[in-house]
């Protein structure tokens, strides 16, 4: 180690998973030890327990945990029989898994543009996407709003379109479990909701994991079957083609403990986001959360002129402050997805945001002196 290293240049983590691990300490060790003692590693009692805890947390009638956020997207689409000839409308300014679940089933993702302020699906663009799908002789079947960076999409407006068009709505809340919308929690705003417990998510485990939420009894039963190879009466009675999509019992035990402190962590994230916005509003475009919605702040993302973004990233990096760009390349520009249709022929807002966004360190354990160091560094770099 460089003995002359300056404290004000010490590296700051982008997400400090270790800080939470220190806080939870023995609670996690004991929870994992209990699983190691009872040895019910596949769909053990902790899986059922955490499903009940998650349902109580968000108010959903059914929670089906699964192996990843990607499986949580796949299970409801598979259960609804989405496949070749079907169009599923989704944003392009998202992680590729949103469209991947659609493409894996042989259906066609139709990419729609987003609102410049919330970074989430623009309801007007969804109407354009429906028209684009029909022009291509595809049948619009489903809509996947993404609650990007932890902030809920405009669910009321999107649900109205979906109702009028007969679309199934699958909320991709991989980044947003814990957020709120009109006095309801994410998990209850769509026909089905998918979330991810990837370690870096606001509610993450120590490996992969995910869950689907729904109030629909029949859909829930089909997804439970699909999660275990399409089982019927038992595992050796296959009534549909499914997958091995089960949530690991050890991870369920971890999640039970993490969920207990999640409300406090959500409050901390909110406090930290407000401090960022107060410190940075003068020098950058800071996030805005519409009235009636609350974000869980999976990312704290500002916007800058493209020419200043690289400069800011390099300047902060030299001071030990990491940044990230989600997403430099929207999904419709990725090699694997270029062949899929784009609503109305272009996505100008998605393309522009891809050049302007930059995310700063964000997690529930970001203390004020460290955050002040980040705020000062951004302000200095941007010349204020
Ligand atoms: C918007 C979105 N959808 C889906 C996923 C997929 O989740 P997982 O990595 O748990 O499969 C992610 C995770 O990064 C995501 O951010």
Q: Does the pLDDT value for residue 231 go beyond 70?
A: yes
Residue of 127, 155, 147, 134 whose CA lies nearest to 87 = 134
- Strand duo 168-172 + 108-112: pairing: unpaired
Residue 35 φ/ψ, nearest 5 degrees: -65, -40
Q: Is 175 in the pocket of ligand 1 (CB under 6 A)?
A: yes
* Residue 120 CB less than 6 A away from ligand 1: no
Instruction: Please tell me if the CB atom of residue 95 comes closer than 6 angstroms to any atom of ligand 1.
Output: yes
Establish whether residue 151 lines the binding site of ligand 1, counting it when its CB lies within 6 angstroms of any ligand atom: no
Global model pTM greater than 0.95: yes
Quick check: 290 pLDDT over 90? yes
Assess whether the C-beta atom of 149 lies below 6 angstroms from ligand 1: no
Which backbone phi and psi does 377 adopt, to 5 degrees? -65, -40
pLDDT at 3 over 80: no
Check whether the bond before 327 is cis (ω within 30° of 0).
yes
Tell me what pLDDT residue 148 has.
98
pLDDT at 1: 40
Q: What is the DSSP string of 127-178?
A: HHHHHHHHHTT-EEEEE--B-GGG----HHHHHHHHHHHT-EEEEE-TTTTT
For residue 6, the model assigns a pLDDT of 62
Q: How remote is the CA of residue 247 from the centroid of ligand 1, in Å?
A: 15
3-state secondary structure of 93: coil
CA of 252 to the centre of ligand 1 (A): 18
pLDDT in tens, 42-60: 999 999 999 999 999 999 9
Q: Note whether 330 and 76 are within 8 A (CB).
A: no
Count Cα atoms within 13 angstroms, Cβ side, for 136: 25
Residue 23 structure tokens: 């806080």
Instruction: Please compute, for residue 184, the number of CA atoms within 13 A of its CA located in the half-sphere on the CB side.
Output: 12
Q: Are 229 and 215 in contact (CB under 8 A)?
A: no
Q: Which residues pair with 181 in a beta bridge?
A: 184, 293
Q: What integer is the mean pLDDT of 12-26?
A: 95
208 half-sphere exposure, CB direction, 13 A CA radius: 9
Determine the 3-state secondary structure of 134 from DSSP: helix
Q: Which atom of ligand 1 is nearest to the CA of 70?
A: 11
Percent of the chain with pLDDT over 70: 98
DSSP SS3 for 88: strand
How far apart (Å, rounded) are the C-alpha atoms in residues 265 and 271? 10
| Mean pLDDT on 232-241 | 94
Distances from the Cα of 291 to the Cα of 117, 146, 284, 376, angstroms = 13, 18, 21, 29
Would the pLDDT of 5 be above 90? no
> Which residue from 332, 329, 296, 310 is spatially nearest to 381, judged by alpha carbons?
310
How confident is residue 9, by pLDDT bands cut at 50, 70 and 90? confident
> Is residue 6 exposed (0-12), middle (13-18) or buried (19+ Cβ within 10 Å)?
exposed
Question: What is the distance of C-alpha 384 from the center of its chain?
Answer: 33
Distance 319 CA to ligand 1 centre (A): 30
Cα 68 to middle of ligand 1, angstroms: 8
Q: What is the pLDDT of residues 193-222, one digit of tens each?
A: 999 999 999 999 999 999 999 999 999 999
Residue 153: pLDDT band (50, 70, 90) is very high
Tell me the backbone φ, ψ of residue 192, rounded to 5 degrees.
-150, 150
User: What integer is the mean pLDDT of 266-295?
Assistant: 97
pLDDT at 2 over 50: no
Q: What tokens were used for 313?
A: 């990233």
4 CA → ligand 1 middle, Å: 41
- Ligand 1 midpoint to CA 95 (Å): 6
CA of 10 to the centre of ligand 1 (A): 30
Q: Please give the number of the atom of ligand 1 that sits closest to the Cα of 298.
A: 16
Q: Is 198 in the pocket of ligand 1 (CB under 6 A)?
A: yes
């Amino acid at each position: 180690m460089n003995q002359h290293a300056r404290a004000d240049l010490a590296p700051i983590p982008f997400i400090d998973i270790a800080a939470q691990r220190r806080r939870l300490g023995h609670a996690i060790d004991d929870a994992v030890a209990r699983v190691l003692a009872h040895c019910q590693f596949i769909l053990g009692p902790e899986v059922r327990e955490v499903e009940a805890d998650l349902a109580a947390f968000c108010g959903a009638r059914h929670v089906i945990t699964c192996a990843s956020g990607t499986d949580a997207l796949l299970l409801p689409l598979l259960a609804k029989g989405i496949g070749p000839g079907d169009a599923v409308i989704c944003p392009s300014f998202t992680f590729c898994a949103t469209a991947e679940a659609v493409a894996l089933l042989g259906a066609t993702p139709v990419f729609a543009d987003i609102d410049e302020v919330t970074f989430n699906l623009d309801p007007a663009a969804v109407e354009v996407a429906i028209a684009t799908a029909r022009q291509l002789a595809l049948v619009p079947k489903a809509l996947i709003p993404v609650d990007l960076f932890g902030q809920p999409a405009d669910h009321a407006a999107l649900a109205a379109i979906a109702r009028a068009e007969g679309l199934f709505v699958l909320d991709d809340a991989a980044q947003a479990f814990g957020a709120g919308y009109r006095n309801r929690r994410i998990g209850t705003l769509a026909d089905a909701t998918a979330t991810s417990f990837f370690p870096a998510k606001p509610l993450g485990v120590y490996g992969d994991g995910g869950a689907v939420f729904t109030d629909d009894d029949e859909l829930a039963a089909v997804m439970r079957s699909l999660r275990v190879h399409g089982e019927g009466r038992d595992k050796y009675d296959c009534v549909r083609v499914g997958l091995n999509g089960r949530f690991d019992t050890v991870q369920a035990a971890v999640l039970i403990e993490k969920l207990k402190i999640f409300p406090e962590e959500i409050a901390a994230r909110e406090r930290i986001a407000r401090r960022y916005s107060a410190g940075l509003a003068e020098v950058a475009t800071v996030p805005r959360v519409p009235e009636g919605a609350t974000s869980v702040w999976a990312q704290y993302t500002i916007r800058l002129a493209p020419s200043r973004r690289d400069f800011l990233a390099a300047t902060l990096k030299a001071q030990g402050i990491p940044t990230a760009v989600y997403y430099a390349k929207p999904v419709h520009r990725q090699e694997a997805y270029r062949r899929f249709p784009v609503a109305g022929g272009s996505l100008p807002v998605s393309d522009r945001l891809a050049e302007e966004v930059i995310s700063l360190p964000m997690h529930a354990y970001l203390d004020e002196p460290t955050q002040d160091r980040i705020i000062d560094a951004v302000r200095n770099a941007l010349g204020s």
